[in-house]
Amino acid sequence: MSRRDTAQSICASVLADRYLAPGESDRRDVFRRVALALAAVEPEPLRNRVAARFYRNMLRGAIGAGRIMANAGTTQPGTMVNCFVQPLCPPQRRVALADDIERALSDARATLSMGGGVGYDFSAIAPALGESGSSSGGVCPVVDRFDEACRRLTFAGARHGAQMAVLRCDHPDLVAFVRAKRGRTRWPTFNVSVAVTDAFMSAVADDAPWTLAHHAKPTRPRAASSRRADGAYVYTQIGARMLWRDIVECARESAEPGLLFIDTINAANVLAPIETIDATNPCGEQPLPAWGSCVLGPIDLSRLVHHPFGADGEPCFDYARLASLVRTQVRLLDNVITATRWPLAAQAREALSKRRIGVGVTGLADALAMMRLPYDAPPARALAARIAACIRDHAYAASSEIAAERGPYPLFDAAYHLAPGSFGSRLPEPVRVAIARHGLRNSHLLSFAPTGSVSLALADNCSNGIEPAYDWVYGRAVRLGGREARVYRVENHAHRLYHAIYGAQAPLPGYFRRAREIGALEHVSMLAALQPFVDAAISKTVTIDSGAYDAQVDTLLFAAWKARLKGITVFRPDPKLEAVLTPRCPTC
């Protein structure tokens, strides 16, 4: 029996609800539709050949993210782009006025209604005690308005709006912002992150005072000395560790806020000379400038292990096939930028000038188990890093080949990509030579995102993104067709395959590792192993023990900063809170 010959009930249901267009009956129909739609932007003599290439690539495990698979080739008024960041005011103005907020709300509705997830930096909002022509009353009431606007939208199918709220670590409303999602009931359409600077982290380490400041003038008169060199007005000083304790306590209690290490993000950005990044998309894997966006497409790594678990031979990973999948995936995602509908003209202008794409992965943990490697063992991290390096090298090689054919992205400058110490400087020499000669079609090429729905619908519930499996057999609550959520039995793909090979009663070897069985620092170590090979960022939740103390979370967050990660989110299982995933399920 092929591992995908008999689809799990939940996989078939999610496929039908979220991805099948009228007249389609299985995933091959989805692949044909998507392949034909994205090959249509090719010169006419190439279209059939390229469509066949795209179709074959999807059959082998290189798929588009959800918006691509749902909307390509349909008449639905949706976008194929998952990730956006939108500003709250023009860049030349450091304080958002009331009219700016209204325009930003209108822009948010336009993007969300077409299926895009949006991130915002709310740092331009005047603090609750400020006066700047805005009647916002501070950051939190403005986030309330964006959350309400999203909840009032009508969405087709099961996908609802997703947003990210980011606030800088020196904003005077930081404490209220950090505490807002305690209990996980406020802002249900939002994830929340604090953009922390190296200076803030050092102040926490040194137990130093921290200045909260904003470009909106405080209500109460201040001395001239209370104005900073950058023109911001000082509101108050507070112990950095007092702020940090709030962040740590709320992260441990409610899994929010996450941290964005914003200085690391900007220092690593190849386009830092021409853009500033202040926020990310809702899941954090794509740092983006104002109006930035990114199209995503994961590759199922579990499809690339020969002799899984040692059946009929020593397991080995097929790097040659991975390279081929990556090269075709780059072309497919580049075509999405040309073919998609854009919610806003500003997004189209930004995307067409830089052509960001995000080749990603799913099924990493399953692939490691098939290679007989425990997820938290050093050899597993070494293999994961080698896989990521292969993806990086061939993605950049493919982008340069497409640039030779179609031209580089309009703002390309070889100095950005090949400067000493840059991301591109670590590429193999032949790739660097090709970039110097032909340029790059895309400014950024890699983004390791969550892949929940597409992994479920199109990849037999392989492990999500780079995450370890939640469990082997469990219940998953899914809302289909606008109906009440139903709990389905779901089985991890690697677990299913193992028992298909060795029998239903075969005990699992020790290299099968669930998320809760992996130490928090080992989760961080996997992120640290992969991040050097990813030019955007990585979405991953670091699972901590349900009894973890604040001090342990403190240590974990500092370890992530010192490892030069771009961000981190922690999750502490809490049985008192409703969960989408549960060990209790029908007939488990």
The CATH code of the domain that includes 402 is 3.20.70.20
Give the model's pLDDT for residue 309. Answer: 98
Query: Is 48 within a domain?
Result: no
Report yes or no on whether pTM surpasses 0.75: yes
Query: Is 184 within a domain?
Result: yes
Which two tokens mark 542?
Answer: 């670091």
Range of the domain at 435: 1-11+294-540
Spatial separation of the C-alpha atoms in residues 534 and 448, rounded to whole Å: 8
Are 307 and 343 members of one domain?
yes
Nearest C-alpha neighbor of 288 from the set 90, 89, 450, 87: 87
Are 124 and 2 members of one domain?
no
Are 259 and 395 members of one domain?
no
Query: Is 285 within a domain?
Result: no
Are 331 and 239 members of one domain?
no
Are 323 and 225 members of one domain?
no
Query: Is 422 within a domain?
Result: yes
> pLDDT of the chain along its 588 residues, tens only?
344 456 798 999 999 999 999 999 999 999 999 999 999 999 999 999 999 999 999 999 999 999 999 999 999 889 999 999 999 999 888 999 999 999 999 999 999 999 999 999 999 999 996 444 444 589 999 999 999 999 999 765 556 789 999 999 999 999 999 999 987 789 999 999 999 999 999 999 999 999 999 999 887 655 445 888 888 999 999 999 999 999 999 999 999 999 999 999 999 999 999 999 999 999 999 999 999 999 999 999 999 999 999 999 999 999 999 999 999 999 999 999 999 999 999 999 999 999 999 999 999 999 999 999 999 999 999 999 999 999 999 999 999 999 999 999 999 999 999 999 999 999 999 999 999 999 999 999 999 999 989 999 999 999 999 999 999 999 988 888 777 788 889 999 999 999 999 999 999 999 999 999 999 999 999 999 999 999 999 999 999 998 899 999 999 999 999 999 999 999 988 765 555 665 555 444
Residue finishing a domain among 255, 280, 305: 280
Max Cα separation, the chain?
A: 78
CB 289, CB 275: distance < 8 Å:
yes
Are 269 and 326 members of one domain?
no
Give the model's pLDDT for residue 581. Answer: 61
Are 219 and 298 members of one domain?
no
Query: Is 562 within a domain?
Result: no
Residue 67 CB burial class (10 angstroms; 0-12, 13-18, ≥19): buried
Spatial separation of the C-alpha atoms in residues 57 and 323, rounded to whole Å: 11
Are 461 and 489 members of one domain?
yes
Are 301 and 215 members of one domain?
no
Query: Is 157 within a domain?
Result: yes
Nearest C-alpha neighbor of 176 from the set 162, 164, 187: 187
Query: Is 35 within a domain?
Result: no
Query: Is 258 within a domain?
Result: yes
Are 316 and 201 members of one domain?
no
Residue finishing a domain among 256, 280, 304: 280
Are 276 and 301 members of one domain?
no
Q: What angle do CA 23, 31, 304 make, to 5 degrees?
A: 145
Q: Number of folded domains in the chain?
A: 2
Are 245 and 146 members of one domain?
yes
